[in-house]
Chain A
Amino acid sequence: MQKVYTKIESIVGNVITVRAEGVRNQDLAEITTSRGTGYANVIKLDGDLVSLQVFQGAQGVSTGDSVKFLGVPMRVSYSEDLLGRIFNGAGKPRDNGPELTANMIDIGGPSVNPSKRILPKKMIRTGIPMIDVFNTLVESQKLPIFSISGEPYNQLLARIATQAEVDIIILGGMGLKYDDYLFFRNTLEKSGAMSRTIMFIHTASDPTVECTLVPDMTLAVAERFALDGKRVLVLLTDMTNFCDAQKEMAITMDQVPSNRGYPGDLYSSLASRYEKAVDFDGAGSVTILGVTTMPGDDVTHPVPDNTGYITEGQYYLRNGRIEPFGSLSRLKQNVNKDTRPDHRALMDGMIKLYSAYKDSLEKRSMGFMMSDWDEKLLRYGELFESKLMDLSVNIPLEEALDLGWKILAECFEPNETGLRTELLEKYWPKEA
């Protein structure tokens, strides 16, 4: 029988301290208050003083409430039964289903040995031309969507979730508006993807501590499915909320802040999560697509800045479209050489022309004369934006490439595109 401690020495923020012996760092404890039973985990030991962070928040905790140490770290159940289920940040069901307690696994486990990683080389098809053609998503890649509040990033994630060719989708929601949670749930149910989806959802009104647990739980489960040979896509939205929760807890713990109040280990704590993206040799893979909202559209803000140093590229979502400039998939070179021979050249060629279109647009707005060439570019830019960049466009890669050629042919002569002759001969649409 575990010992129950009933004397809480201090309650600061979401952290309580009790005097206890034989407690291990990061162990889980059960705390019973007048509101019911919740969990807390050990974050600091100093002699017999044990500091715990209370998942539900320390609001309403009395100094006389009882704390029972469970002797195990924070865990999550792992089995096929998870599929189709929705949990909260503490791993409790959100969907009226039964609580799962079988086959518990530790969260926040050790990192993968770099010498056991393999070079990623499998493309993930999403049906979104701006991703498939221009910045291909690759299995085991970690990519954030940089965006500002108000952009349809959750709609984009939901679309990728329903269309991506993967075995399992795990959605980690942090600080989600309740409406967004319902949106995800309804969209996935309607599309029939719910049966291969698991959701760990922390909504904006849930306790802060639970927010910080969401990525760890999500990724621990994802890692297990990958080891069992599954191709897992993890969606994390919004990582800025996760960082803000970390900041809140660090400040409560009297940690010295480093940059705009964020703790000094922000880089490490983001990296240890994003680096869970992996392609296991001889098993499955974990791919992470996250959302990082940029406060004030400022990419030098500590959260997007640290994220950019960790992830393998980024998608900029601006004005409802994935921007071709600034967006980058660092791994696209690994896969786009094997899709279709014209993929790389068409990608570069179309982007160069689109960049020329932007120049013409600027010239026009400054009131300069438009030459024939400028007019061609303007026409091209409009077609490019409406037929390829628009997020509602939903076509497979091959069709998107054909469409790209068609747009070029509608606007330019072959020799104006800067593409190699042998490609032009093969792919330039013949006159009907």
Chain B
Amino acid sequence: MSVSTGRVTGVNGNMVNVAFTDKVIKNEVGFIRVGDTRLKSEIIRITSGVASLQVYEMTNGIKVGDEVEFTGELLSVELGPGLLTQVFDGLQNPLPELAEKCGFFLERGVYIDPLPDKEWDFTATKKAGDKVKAGDSFGWVPEGLFHHEIMVPFTLQGEWTIKSIAADGAHRSHETICVIENAKGETKDLSMIITQPVKVAIEGYEERVMPDEPMVTKIRIIDTFLPVAKGGTYCIPGPFGAGKTVLQHLTSKNADVDIVIIAACGERAGEVVEVLKEFPELTDPKTGRSLMERTIIICNTSSMPVAAREASVYTAVTMAEYYRNMGLDVLLLADSTSRWAQAMREMSGRLEEIPGDEAFPAYLESRIAGFYERAGKVRLADGRYGSVTIGGTVSPAGGNFEEPVTQATLKVVGAFHGLSRERSDARKYPAIDPLDSWSKYDGIIDRRLVDEAYSYLRRGNEVGQMMKVVGEEGTSLDDYIIYQKGEFLDAVYLQQNSFDPVDSMVVPERQKEAFDMLYSILTSSFDLSDKKDARLFFNELRQRFLDWNGTASDSPDFQRRKDDLVSFYEGRRK
């Protein structure tokens, strides 16, 4: 491919106009040469011989006439063994290596090879003469706990024949380990590393299937009431301080998936630092290894260049799809998609596009839909299943969900976990509003039972609202009991203490056990003489249930406290 060059003709914020000589491709990457540094940028518009580039770095010092080299490649990431445990910026620059090279600050124009040329123990699963196509695996290397499949690049067209393949044993990740040829006689050298454009979804699977298996988060309100499926999508909108990031961190630690990719997109650097310092110390209960071994962090915090923020969510989802195609369950947590949308808005403003609602570009909805649609559960050629689950936080302006990003997101996700200021102010965590939120997925407990439990919550809330007007005196005992049941459900099941070592993560078996008990309490009628009696009864019941919640299931007290609780309420049953 011929590669063209150009010269800068204008600069406006992080957008640079370039007059080019030969042909250029939309979304192709170019480098602007400023002194000794080269600034990475992407063509986002071409009008009458002038390409507009968004620059992934700060644009100070660029002048008219500066030279631009185009690469002929779309914005891409490198996929291969060695991605896990790494910390990248939005353009896949490894941050710890960058720090070694540049010190405290993110110097612009420094690009480091994201995947070091390490030796991996390769095992071939195909032989010379075998036919392959895009996405087929021809061998694997061990990466931490996983068989890391080495695959034919997803962007190749047609059928290819393996001409030669490396012997089993140690090979460097950048060396050619397989040569393939197609019918036209073109050959391609393949290494362990694939270069994949980030804005093109990875295919190479047989078919997409319904996400039907719950992704357990060990958070009761999610797993029981507002479940998320493996391969599904969900969003967490909430005002500042309602606990979005804490909820994401809990999920990233506890989610029952193989790999977690955290995309810290335009949020505080301090929060990423917490993950960076904390995760290597924590063990994954499923594997007994460090949590970091199943984690990739893509970190483009709020003070880093805006255009790279836009790219970072695509970088993250591309990596997720890559591991999905090895038959793994991947969870992508994006915090926060509003910052990503704002990055689009800034660029749209510079392009002087006609603005939509709140100055967001008209294509906001389709971009958001396009991103979430990259989630899904797929069946691979060998019959295995893999999935990408996407959970995105939304930071609505003023905490008002009637804004474009929240609304566009709600249209395309399968579950909505709306956080409420009211609940977080009352220290009711997780502050997911149980009445506003919804989920279209099936959880670990029969939906009929869950719906019935829900009805107590809803009616209890109605009585509570009414009681604010007419007072306790004006409420009938039956209504009052329903109110107490709703409050009880909230206190012992929906709320969860994330600082308590036992209560902070509840496995599905235990959730089922607790739910059975809760269900039986909700659906029983009790012998209660008056409201005071009812209040005292439910206070005591709540205290006993909470004590039981805080008891480890392997502790000798577990069964005793459970029996205590049962005998206490059975004794008052009508």
Q: Which parts of A218-242 form the interface with B (CB within 8 Å)? A: 227
A264 touches B303 (CB 8 A): no
Which residue of chain B has its CB nearest to the CB of A51? B12
**Does B106 have its Cβ within 8 Å of any Cβ on chain A?**
yes
Partner of A110, one of B9, B107, B349: B107
B96 touches A119 (CB 8 A): no
CA distance A114 to B349 in the complex (A): 29
Partner of A115, one of B65, B87, B274, B302: B87
A23 touches B64 (CB 8 A): yes
**Does A347 have its Cβ within 8 Å of any Cβ on chain B?**
no
Which residue of chain B has its CB nearest to the CB of A310? B302
**Does B304 have its Cβ within 8 Å of any Cβ on chain A?**
yes
Q: With A113-B102, A271-B303 as given contacts, are A73 and B10 in contact (CB-CB < 8 Å)?
A: no
Which of A109, A111, A114, A272 has the largest count of B CB atoms less than 10 A from its CB? A114
Which residue of chain A has its CB nearest to the CB of B403? A259
A264 touches B345 (CB 8 A): yes
Q: Size band of the A side of the interface? A: 35 or more
Which residue of chain A has its CB nearest to the CB of B352? A256
CA distance A25 to B9 in the complex (A): 12
**Does A308 have its Cβ within 8 Å of any Cβ on chain B?**
yes
Shortest CB–CB separation between residue B199 and chain A, in angstroms? 22
CA distance A391 to B534 in the complex (A): 44
**Does A296 have its Cβ within 8 Å of any Cβ on chain B?**
no
**Does A362 have its Cβ within 8 Å of any Cβ on chain B?**
no
**Does A3 have its Cβ within 8 Å of any Cβ on chain B?**
no
Which residue of chain B has its CB nearest to the CB of A119? B277
Q: Size band of the B side of the interface? A: 35 or more
B360 / chain A contacts, CB cutoff of 8 Å: 258
CA distance A227 to B104 in the complex (A): 9
**Does A118 have its Cβ within 8 Å of any Cβ on chain B?**
yes
Q: With A272-B303, A302-B397 as given contacts, are A257 and B359 in contact (CB-CB < 8 Å)?
A: yes
Q: With A258-B359, A312-B270 as given contacts, are A112 and B104 in contact (CB-CB < 8 Å)?
A: yes
**Does A21 have its Cβ within 8 Å of any Cβ on chain B?**
yes
A271 touches B299 (CB 8 A): no
Shortest CB–CB separation between residue B282 and chain A, in angstroms? 15
Q: With A113-B98, A268-B306, A272-B303 as given contacts, are A45 and B64 in contact (CB-CB < 8 Å)?
A: yes
Partner of B60, one of A25, A47, A263: A25
Which residue of chain B has its CB nearest to the CB of A314? B241
CA distance A255 to B301 in the complex (A): 24
Partner of A259, one of B61, B87, B304, B358: B358
B359 touches A271 (CB 8 A): no
CA distance A23 to B397 in the complex (A): 38
Instruction: Beyond the given A25-B59, A26-B60, please list 11 additional residue pairs across the A-B interface where CB-CB is below 8 A.
Output: A47-B9, A110-B107, A114-B276, A258-B355, A268-B346, A272-B303, A276-B303, A301-B398, A302-B397, A305-B397, A308-B240
A-B contact pairs, 21 of them (CB 8 A): A25-B60, A25-B63, A45-B11, A47-B9, A111-B303, A112-B106, A113-B106, A114-B301, A115-B276, A116-B103, A116-B104, A119-B274, A256-B359, A258-B358, A259-B359, A265-B306, A265-B342, A268-B342, A300-B397, A305-B399, A309-B240
Q: Which 6 A-B pairs have the closest CB atoms?
A: A300-B398, A271-B302, A275-B303, A26-B60, A258-B359, A308-B240
